[in-house]
Amino acid sequence: MSRKNRIQTVLLTTRSACRDAVEQFINRKTILAAVILCDDWCSEMPVVITTERTLVEDRKVAALTAPVAVKPSSVPSVPVLTDAEHALIWLRTHAVDRLVADDIASAAPLMPAFLGEAERMGITIWLSDGARNSIRTDSLHGIGKTKSANKQPVFIYALQKQGRFSLFLKRTMDIVLSSVGLLFSVPIIALVAIPLLIESPGPLFFKQKRIGKNGRVFTLYKLRSMYRDAEQRKSELMAQNQMQGYMFKVQNDPRITKVGRFIRKTSIDELPQLLNVLKGDMSLIGTRPPLVDEFNKYENHHKRRLAMKPGITGLWQVSGRSNITDFEEVVALDCQYIDHFNFFFDIRILFKTAKVVLCGTGAE
């Protein structure tokens, strides 16, 4: 190997290592990828998946067949988790960041509609050069290209494109502000803990499974603002739900304690979520994470509101917070935030949130 080639190899390796380190810092989670399998299996794209740490399901690549079926036995060591008929449902209900396709010529007539629907869910699509040339991609939104581990071009499509530097700044701000916020939260939580527990004995903190970025499940932390049997009483109040769509909100909710109303009005109940931010499950700014049962009712386009990490506050909160009752309007505002995301947009939302909290407008 010549000196020039050795230098190029070192530079490429260093660049790849730096990119991987930045991605790990930003996401704090392994990228989850699904692979489209058709009649034939090509070993080229799985190399990309393994290299990019796009691992899922016990550190194996999750594969789905669409829109034609494949025998699991023809794909060594790669689990086939769904079939062509249920592929879109699987994408909507599972955590998937990236959809990878290579040899899909046999499914070319059906593939554009399938990929377009996946894109509507907020999933990023990676197509090999062969896949791109075998189907129509004019309905997809190209945002760039990269190279596979064997230097072959890979074309990237998505409805949203977030700059890596803005995401790096966002994650840095999350770590710094959540760390400082947690320190200041300790005396505040200690102060409200006594009257809260006197009024409603039980655990101080409320833990609940929520849906995060692209369908990941995580545990959200809050100060308990309701009576202990709140979840059991929820079904009794469904007829009074103010929201149109897949969210739940009741005016003057009888499950909320007196102290609970105060900590909700001042947003003190959300201080423990700073731990979620520090862990990387959430961000300070983002979309609100839905409940598991709400997420399971989503239509395809609803999932795109989860294309970024959920946040403690976001665009729809400062655009009316709890005054918005139409879920489709919530989705539209969330997608607007995702489409126009940059670091300074987050800063503006953060200052607007501070104003809303201090004025007590829109909170319940």
CA distance 286 to 284: 7
CA distances from 74 to 44, 71, 77, 81, 133 (A): 16, 6, 10, 14, 24
pLDDT per residue as tens digits for the range 199-226: 888 899 999 999 999 999 999 999 998 8
Q: Are residues 211 and 265 in the same domain?
A: yes
Q: Evaluate whether residue 20 is within a structural domain.
A: no
Name the most confidently modeled range: 92-96, 118-122, 163-167. 118-122
- The answer to whether residue 132 scores a pLDDT higher than 60 is yes
- Given 103, 137, 157, which residue is the final one in a domain? 157
CA distances from 155 to 44, 137, 146, 164, 295 (A): 14, 11, 7, 17, 30
Question: What's the domain count of the chain?
Answer: 2
The residues with which 157 forms a beta bridge, in sequence order, are 125, 142
**Strand 62-65 with 217-223, pairing:** unpaired
Q: Are residues 201 and 348 in the same domain?
A: yes
- The answer to whether residue 51 scores a pLDDT higher than 70 is no
Q: Are residues 147 and 176 in the same domain?
A: no
Q: Are residues 126 and 192 in the same domain?
A: no
Q: Are 141 and 124 contacting, i.e. CB atoms less than 8 angstroms apart?
A: no
Q: Are 333 and 315 contacting, i.e. CB atoms less than 8 angstroms apart?
A: yes
As a whole number, mean pLDDT of residues 147-156 equals 74
Structural domain that includes position 192 = 164-359
Q: Evaluate whether residue 3 is within a structural domain.
A: no
Least confident of 76-85, 143-152, 154-163, 242-251: 76-85
- Given 157, 190, 223, which residue is the final one in a domain? 157
Residue 79 confidence class, pLDDT cut points 50, 70, 90? low
- The answer to whether residue 49 scores a pLDDT higher than 50 is no
Q: Are 217 and 310 contacting, i.e. CB atoms less than 8 angstroms apart?
A: no
Q: Evaluate whether residue 204 is within a structural domain.
A: yes
Q: Evaluate whether residue 296 is within a structural domain.
A: yes
Q: Are 51 and 80 contacting, i.e. CB atoms less than 8 angstroms apart?
A: no
Q: Are residues 327 and 279 in the same domain?
A: yes
As a whole number, mean pLDDT of residues 99-126 equals 82
pLDDT per residue as tens digits for the range 172-198: 999 999 999 999 999 999 999 999 999
As a whole number, mean pLDDT of residues 310-320 equals 84
The residues with which 207 forms a beta bridge, in sequence order, are 221
Q: Are residues 170 and 57 in the same domain?
A: no
Q: Evaluate whether residue 25 is within a structural domain.
A: no
Q: Evaluate whether residue 14 is within a structural domain.
A: no
We report the CATH number of the domain holding residue 153 as 3.40.50
Residue 71 confidence class, pLDDT cut points 50, 70, 90? very low
Find the distance separating the first CA and the last CA of the chain, reported in whole Å: 68
The string of DSSP letters for 190-248 reads HHHHHHHHHHS-S-SEEEEEEE-GGG-EEEEEEE--B-TTHHHHGGGGGGG---BSS--
- Given 157, 180, 200, which residue is the final one in a domain? 157
Residue 341 confidence class, pLDDT cut points 50, 70, 90? very high
As a whole number, mean pLDDT of residues 81-91 equals 77
Q: Are residues 112 and 230 in the same domain?
A: no
Q: Evaluate whether residue 2 is within a structural domain.
A: no
- The answer to whether residue 129 scores a pLDDT higher than 90 is no
